[in-house]
């Protein structure tokens, strides 16, 4: 592809990297990323991917901006309180880089719409705030063979992993079933230091860009754990589980909504279980 003068200037710090160059930047400019959640993780992930010039970013979230979001959700602001989060981030992202096509989707992902929504995108990024969505997204990505960059944050700790279906583990290889309700922190327990999603979201954006340019080592068979209080990163190996119910040899989940019906009803009714 030919760059415009403005693109050469805007992306010059990418182009001079041996691992990116004009070819890598062209890949970024034509990539399509599907972002789940316009909250703590979705804001920094989308912000950096927009800055990087990703061609098209769809972002799904059905919430409106509240004042309590602003302590960590850096793409919203006092003037967008009350607005749909997806419209708020679209305005912020496009102010940074008008070339990026932002597709705001104010809706709740469910078993009936997710496959169709994500099927035309190259990478899916999970920044959702509840377990039913997290498992549904995993299963949908495995079934479609879509790369998924998953992130989660709570209090001072976060985790990131990259799922390449057919190559490495999936989320269910890691945690086969959703945690029982008593194990999930209640709303009042689910504090998060505001900068934490910035760190984890930044790592997710890094994984997405490496996936797009095809360089470096992905977290495709590992889970990266960050502890902000101890200031440590720990990378643990995650083997693919041959008996995994969705990506194993004899999967019991072959389409959304049969065995997995529990989350199909849950994603429609449950409030967020953790605060992202």
CB of 51 to another protein, least distance (A): 17
- Considering only residues 168, 172, 196, 212, which one is a binding residue for Zn ion as defined by CB under 5 A? 172
Positions touching another protein (CB under 8 A) are: 3, 8-9, 12-13, 15-16, 18, 21-23
CB of 13 to another protein, least distance (A): 7
The one of another protein, Zn ion, none whose footprint includes residue 1, by CB under 5 to 8 A per kind, is none
Handedness of CA 179, 182, 183, 189 (dihedral sign): positive
Q: What is the dihedral of CA 26, 30, 31, 36, to 10 degrees?
A: 130
Site for Zn ion contains 136 (CB under 5 A): no
Q: 45 vs 160, which CB is nearer to Zn ion?
A: 160
Q: 9 vs 187, which CB is nearer to another protein?
A: 9
Beta bridge partners of 84: 64
d(CA 132, CA 48): 27
91-114 CB burial, b ≥16 within 10 A, e <16:
bbbeeebeebebbbbbeebbbeeb
In 3D space, the residue among 60, 65, 218 whose CA is nearest the CA of residue 149 turns out to be 218
The one of Zn ion, another protein, none whose footprint includes residue 15, by CB under 5 to 8 A per kind, is another protein
Site for Zn ion contains 173 (CB under 5 A): yes
CB of 15 to another protein, least distance (A): 5
Pick out residues in 211-270 that bind Zn ion (CB under 5 A).
Answer: 244, 247
């Amino acid at each position: 592809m030919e760059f415009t003068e403005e693109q050469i200037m805007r992306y010059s710090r990418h182009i001079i990297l041996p691992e990116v160059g004009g070819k890598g930047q062209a890949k970024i400019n034509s990539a399509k990323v599907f972002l789940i959640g316009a909250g703590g993780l979705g804001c920094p992930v989308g912000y950096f991917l927009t800055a990087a010039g990703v061609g098209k970013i769809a972002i799904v979230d059905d919430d409106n901006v509240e004042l309590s979001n602003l302590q960590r959700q850096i793409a919203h602001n006092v003037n967008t309180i009350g607005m749909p989060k997806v419209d708020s981030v679209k305005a912020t992202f496009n102010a940074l880089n008008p070339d990026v096509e932002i597709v705001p989707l104010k809706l709740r992902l469910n078993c009936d719409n997710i496959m169709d929504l994500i099927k035309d995108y190259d990478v899916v990024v999970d920044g959702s705030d509840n377990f039913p969505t997290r498992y549904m997204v995993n299963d949908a990505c495995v079934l479609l063979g879509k790369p998924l960059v998953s992130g989660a944050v709570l209090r001072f700790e976060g985790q990131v992993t990259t799922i390449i279906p057919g190559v490495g583990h999936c989320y269910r290889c890691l945690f086969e079933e959703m945690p029982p309700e008593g194990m999930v922190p209640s709303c009042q327990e689910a504090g998060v230091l505001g900068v934490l999603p910035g760190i984890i979201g930044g790592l997710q954006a890094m994984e997405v860009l490496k996936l797009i340019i095809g360089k470096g080592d992905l977290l495709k068979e590992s889970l990266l754990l960050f502890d902000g209080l101890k200031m440590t990163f720990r990378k643990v190996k995650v083997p693919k589980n041959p008996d995994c119910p969705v990506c194993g040899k004899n999967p019991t989940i072959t389409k959304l909504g049969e065995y997995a019906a529990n989350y199909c009803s849950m994603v429609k009714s449950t409030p967020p279980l953790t605060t992202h």
